[in-house]
Amino acid sequence: MNIRLGIYDIFSTIIPGGFYLVAIAEFTRLVGWMKFDWPSLQDIGILPSLGLVSVAYIIGSATDRIGSQWHRIFKKRGASNRVLDRFKELHSDRWIIDFDDKDWAILRTYIYIHNPNVADDADRFNALSIMLRNISLGFFLLALIEIIQLANARNWSIVALITLLLFLSYQTAIRARTLRDWYYSSVLEAIIAYRVNLEERIKPVKASPKRRNEK
């Protein structure tokens, strides 16, 4: 795995883990298990910051499967099957695409062998999709915590914050679904691009005798 993909993998784990960490900290503060002021975190040192990043990475890794199950709520159907069926239908007049849903790993490996940069671009969509689906769950958890806060404080201004968090949760989940579709589509498009012979499809226009005389 190259460095570029590693960076996307880290961000797709640390950022959601940070959301979960904030949700956990806010919940413990709400129930009185822990007392701290959020503004005091801006004076935190480098080593404690690295420690928090490590904790966020661990939490993000441990809860990734939960985020995957959460994202199933927003899926119309299996993304890989849906994208593959749509792609076959779109290009049925030009290509016979004899792939099944189980062949995705083979197709991705084929692209990596022939052009790792193209494969990296496809994996970027996948990594961003993972990041956003977990962030969506993080927003939802924060909304639940604010609902508890609303029940305790009876401050109806919190309703606006809850609405915003639920809206962001839904929007990031939909965006994650879109990026997942782009991942599968980019793999298929790359495979078709390897099959296209541009020399047969793009040819220079031959000048007619009349045009040659005009020159």
Residue range 64-102, pLDDT digits in tens = 888 878 877 776 656 667 777 777 777 666 767 777 767
Residue 167 scores a pLDDT above 90? yes
- Cβ neighbours around 180 below 10 Å, total: 23
Give the pLDDT of residue 39: 55
What span, in angstroms and rounded, lies between the C-alpha atoms of 140 and 73?
13
Give the pLDDT of residue 128: 86
What distances in angstroms separate CA 123 from CA 49, 111, 117, 118, 129, one per listed residue? Answer: 29, 11, 10, 9, 10
3-state secondary structure of 37: coil
